[in-house]
Amino acid sequence: MKVTINKNSGFCFGVVNAIKIAEIELEKSGKLFCLGDIVHNAIEVKRLAEKGLIIIDYEKFKKLKNTKVLIRAHGEPPETYRIAGEKNIELIDASCIVVLNLQKKIKNEYEKIKNMGGQIVIYGKKDHPEIIGLNGQINNNAIILESPKDIDKIDFKKQISLFAQTTKSIETFYKLKDEIKSKIENNNFIFHNSICRQVANRASEFKEFAIKHDVLIFVSGKESSNGKFLFGVCKDVNPNTYFVSEKSEIKNEWLIGKSDVGICGATSTPRWLMEEVAEFIEKF
């Protein structure tokens, strides 16, 4: 059986950097707190936990003092930095540079339009850590749209500046832009394409990859928004596409009579996990 791992699958550079920073610190101290899961992949989180990474939530964070805490690639709101300063917590900042740049853009745009009654609109998942960090830059005054169905939250008589969570579908984002433009009553609309290029390019590449194989195994953590989106992209073009978080979830009937299997992964999927899945399938 031929098994091929998509060469551009797996961790984006932001996640690679965050894990590298965590591992360097863990080698020195053997213990490090991380505010939220370092990556939306339970198996990778478990691997790092065995090295001494301790995942904490915001309530636990507020109770810490005189220690080190890692900020993951998703970024954080200003409130996190304020609390750290009060508690003498050293923040090891692994925020993705793409996310940090977007935080600055949203903050600067808000300063420009707030006195005119303008609206910052962000397409994304409202409880996603990146969205929490982005909205925190403007005192949580953004209008969050989880889907085009939410556009009634917008006042179309006022100026609109539209942004997106960096890992969202670029196709849906453009559809949202067009729908807003069709409803707006003036020309006060600014569109900011803030989708990460590394993520946006994967969708079209994965479509081509999925079509080429008898079966497509998509490896991702179940909590990964990016994983759910990219799995859907593959499933749309290849009905023999299956979602797994680890090799034990693979079912024999998916592979019976098949000779060519492709493997893809989300931006939060480690390469070693995809290789484990590939090795398991090859033995089948």
- Residue 164: strand, helix, or coil: strand
Taking the domains of the chain in order of start, what are their residue ranges? 2-9+197-283, 13-96, 98-191
Q: Find out whether 161 and 192 touch, Cβ atoms under 8 Å.
A: yes
Partnered with residue 33 across adjacent β-strands are 54, 69
Distance CA 50, CA 31 (A): 10
Q: Which helix (H) or strand (E) holds 162?
A: strand 160-164
Q: In the prediction, which pLDDT does 195 show?
A: 93
Measured between alpha carbons, how far is residue 150 from residues 138, 153, 154 in Å? 20, 6, 8
Q: In the prediction, which pLDDT does 247 show?
A: 95
Distance CA 217, CA 262 (A): 6
CATH topology identical between 2-9+197-283 and 13-96: no
CB neighbour list of residue 161: distance below 8 Å, 6 or more residues apart: 109, 113, 118, 119, 120, 121, 190, 192
DSSP code, position 33: E
Q: Using DSSP bridges, classify how beta strands 215-219 and 260-265 pair: parallel, antiparallel or unpaired.
A: parallel
Q: pTM value?
A: 0.89
CATH of domain 13-96: 3.40.50.11270
CATH fold label, 2-9+197-283 = Cobalt-precorrin-4 Transmethylase; domain 1 (3.40.1010)
CATH class, domain 98-191, is alpha beta
Binned average pLDDT, 10 residues per bin, the chain of 284 residues = 93 93 96 95 95 97 97 97 97 97 98 93 95 98 95 94 93 93 86 89 92 97 88 96 96 94 94 96 88
Q: In the prediction, which pLDDT does 223 show?
A: 85
Closest listed residue to residue 189, CA positions, set 111, 107, 119, 106: 119
Q: How many residues does the chain have?
A: 284
* 40's tokens: 């939306």
CB count in 10 Å sphere of residue 153: 10
Partnered with residue 8 across adjacent β-strands are none
Q: What are phi and psi of 86, to 5 degrees?
A: -70, -30
Point out the catalytic residue in the list 130, 185, 205, 276.
130
Residue type, 220: S
Q: In the prediction, which pLDDT does 199 show?
A: 80
130 has catalytic annotation: yes
* 3-state SS, one letter per residue, for 71-120: ECCCCCCHHHHHHHHHCCCEEEECCCHHHHHHHHHHHHHHHHHHHHCCEE
Q: In the prediction, which pLDDT does 238 show?
A: 97
Q: In the prediction, which pLDDT does 284 show?
A: 79
Q: Which helix (H) or strand (E) holds 23?
A: helix 13-29
